[in-house]
Amino acid sequence: MMMADLLPYDTSSVVATAEPLARWRVQWQDLYATGPCLRCEAGMRFELHLDYADMGPDDEERSITRTVTCACGESHPATPDGKTGCGASWVSRFFEDESGGHAAPQEDPHLAAASRALDAAGLDAETRLRAAAEKWVGGVAAVLAIFGIAGTVAGGSLLNNLSDVDRKIVVGLTVAAVAVAIVAVVFSYLAAYGWPKVVEMTDAKLLKWYEDRRKHLRTIASRLRWAVVAAVASIGLLTSAAAFAWLNASSSPRTTVRVTAVDDSVACGTLLIPTTPGNIRIRVSDGSVKEVPLKSATKVESAVSC
């Protein structure tokens, strides 16, 4: 065919009809189909991709509906750089029965609309997945920052000034705050970027994907609302833990003592209520509790600090 006889490049849609589609051959084993373009009639090959990257929802029936774009090897007039074919596109149903694989027009307008939406969504699937992965790096950093804030409340010397019961309360509140904060981070990032997954898109799953996509705004709003609620709850829990620790630490008298044993070893820390008669209980600087028998002590004295 000479260049002058070729149809010019045109991206308009073509109505699929049974006669030209009957000349298509479907290879389910290798997931591809071959046949003539419905506009320029040049031979072409179409890959039957089943896996599509999606930011939301996922019959083994051998029936899929796809938007096919001409990919013939002819150089049509006015074809943009980087493009192939005559530019025509149409919706076709590929299916398998006892006689083999076939192509036919998709008579269900709902499935045809879903196929065009899938085609548009799949154009930038890899870009969206990579962008979402980059954004999730910030989410991980946010979680680590939460642990840093929690460490300032439940760590250091602050807990040393509390009783065992008060210490458990502060740690429990802090752990709950961290858990709720992680929920806030996850829900906020899900609202912004979704949850990446790969969907094997048969006709049944295509309809479900299309319906879920139309409901996506409600899902985003719900996730964002829960993210805000969880973030506020996390702040409240961390504030409660800090306030409880500070108030109970300031109201608890603390006596620092230094005990010298007969072997000249020295134990220094906060004096605690003894649990065994004849022993001195001391919380040392690393937070552990040490018991020193009075009979082995040569000197017990108060200290400003250890």
Q: Are residues 101 and 138 in the same domain?
A: no
Question: Which of 59-63, 151-155, 254-258 shows the highest mean pLDDT?
Answer: 254-258
Last residue of a domain, one of 65, 99, 123: 123
The mean pLDDT of 114-138, rounded to a whole number, is 60
* pLDDT at res. 34: 92
CB of 181 closer than 8 Å to CB of 231: yes
Q: Are residues 119 and 14 in the same domain?
A: yes
Question: Which residues are CB-contacts of 56 (< 8 A; sequence separation ≥ 6)?
Answer: 194, 195, 197, 209, 212, 213, 216, 219
* pLDDT at res. 270: 84
* pLDDT at res. 147: 60
The torsion angles phi and psi of 173, rounded to 5 degrees, stand at -65, -40
Question: Which residues are CB-contacts of 159 (< 8 A; sequence separation ≥ 6)?
Answer: 167, 170, 171, 245, 287
Q: What is the pLDDT of residues 4-60, one digit of tens each?
A: 467 889 888 888 888 889 999 988 777 889 999 999 999 999 987 665 444 333 344
Q: Are residues 130 and 241 in the same domain?
A: yes
Q: Are residues 247 and 139 in the same domain?
A: yes
Reference 151, options 269, 285, 241; nearest CA is 241
CA dist., res. 146 & res. 177, Å (int): 9
Q: Which residue has the higher pLDDT, 129 or 264?
A: 264
CA dist., res. 280 & res. 298, Å (int): 13
Bridge partners, residue 257, by sequence: 269, 302
Helix, strand, coil % (nearest 5) of the chain? Answer: 45, 25, 30
* pLDDT at res. 255: 73
CA dist., res. 289 & res. 79, Å (int): 81
Q: Which residue has the higher pLDDT, 281 or 276?
A: 281
Helices within 194-274 (DSSP H only): 203-214, 216-251
Query: CA separation (Å) from 169 to 153, 154, 244, 285?
Result: 12, 10, 9, 21
Count structural domains, the chain: 3
CB of 62 closer than 8 Å to CB of 99: no
Q: What is the pLDDT of residues 197-252, one digit of tens each?
A: 555 666 666 667 666 665 665 677 777 778 777 877 877 887 787 777 777 765 54
- In the chain, the percentage of residues whose pLDDT exceeds 90 is 5
* pLDDT at res. 53: 41
Q: Are residues 291 and 223 in the same domain?
A: no
Helices within 10-108 (DSSP H only): 18-21
Q: Are residues 132 and 115 in the same domain?
A: no
Q: What is the pLDDT of residues 181-197, one digit of tens each?
A: 888 878 877 776 666 65
Encode 254-287: b = buried (16+ Cβ within 10 Å), e = exposed: eebbbbbeeeeeebbbbbbeeeeeebbbbbeeee
Structural domain for 283, as ranges: 256-302
Last residue of a domain, one of 208, 235, 251: 251
Q: Are residues 75 and 141 in the same domain?
A: no
CA dist., res. 178 & res. 146, Å (int): 6
* pLDDT at res. 100: 82
Q: Are residues 199 and 241 in the same domain?
A: yes
Question: Which residues are CB-contacts of 101 (< 8 A; sequence separation ≥ 6)?
Answer: 25, 26, 27, 28, 33, 62, 94, 95
Q: Are residues 199 and 157 in the same domain?
A: yes
In a 13 Å sphere around the CA of 145, the CA atoms on its Cβ side amount to 7
Q: Which two tokens stand for residue 102?
A: 């076939």
* pLDDT at res. 188: 75
